[in-house]
Amino acid sequence: MYCKCGSVEKGFLVFQGVTKKDVTIWTTMFTGLAFHGYGNQVLDLFFLMQQDVMPNEVTFVGVLRACTHSGLVGKGLNIFYSMKKKFGMEPQVEHYGCLADLLGRSGRLAEAKDVIEKMPMKPSCSIWGAMLSACRSRGNMWNHSDMIREVMESRGVKKTAGCSSVVIVGPAHNFIAADSQHPRLLDIFSILQSLNSEIKLDDDCSLDMSM
């Protein structure tokens, strides 16, 4: 809870105060530190943990995410391959997703794509989404993005549509990306167009009129 609220120090003090730390306690601490970019600290604790507690599949997800958020590509690769070699665990879809994300964020898009194509199970939509995000964030990589979308289409993978909910004095109003069936679609676009014409910022600034 402390880590989620940004109080990493307080979270770590609570962690240190636990005399008998089980795998859940360790993993929770890894996840909290990973979220705030403390990758090296997670790795130090991970090796300390192994003196008394055996990591599980969820632990490896936390450690791999820590490597991803801290740009520790080499160490992340070693952790991934140690799952089977050292601990006898078969990586699951979540671990392959972390590996692809780790490589993609570091610009190693070809390797990330290779991981996705060779993983022994069907890639999830979130894995493909992370790959597309990596293509966009690397600048001149739109050709890779188009290639990924083609692979997704050929495999019948569809990205889950984004949904936003707004509560204004009453029930929640849901807006789904690319939705053409909303009962008040024309009213919504009319208001968006009105707002767009009133916005006077830079020339390249305007409202996103897509739904």
The string of DSSP codes covering 141-190 is -HHHHHHHHHHHHHTT--PPPPEEEEESSSSEEEEETT----TTHHHHHH
Same domain, 47 and 94: yes
Report the CATH number that the domain containing residue 121 is assigned in CATH.
1.25.40.10
Site of tokens 């289409």 = 153
DSSP H helical segments within the chain, as ranges?
Answer: 8-17, 23-35, 39-49, 57-70, 73-85, 93-105, 109-118, 125-137, 142-154, 185-198
Q: Which of 44-53, 69-78, 195-204 has the lowest mean pLDDT?
A: 195-204
- Rg (alpha carbons) of the chain, rounded to whole number: 22
Domain that holds residue 124: 2-161
Tell me, yes or no, whether 11 and 68 share the same domain.
Answer: yes
In a domain, 211, yes or no: no
* Digit-coded pLDDT (tens) for 88-121: 999 999 999 999 999 988 888 889 889 988 999 8
Q: For residues 133 and 129, what is the distance between their CA atoms, to the nearest angstrom?
A: 6
In a domain, 209, yes or no: no
Question: pLDDT higher for 30 or 161?
Answer: 30
Each residue of 165-188: pLDDT tens digit? 666 666 666 666 666 666 777 777
Q: How many domains does the chain have?
A: 2
Diameter of the chain by CA atoms? 64
User: Are 150 and 175 members of one domain?
Assistant: no
Q: Give yes or no for residue 207 having a pLDDT over 60.
A: no
Q: Would the pTM count as exceeding 0.85?
A: no
More confident residue, 124 or 32: 32
Q: Determine, yes or no, domain membership for 210.
A: no
Residues 130 and 52 in one domain: yes
Query: CA 29, CA 42: separation in Å to the nearest integer?
Result: 8
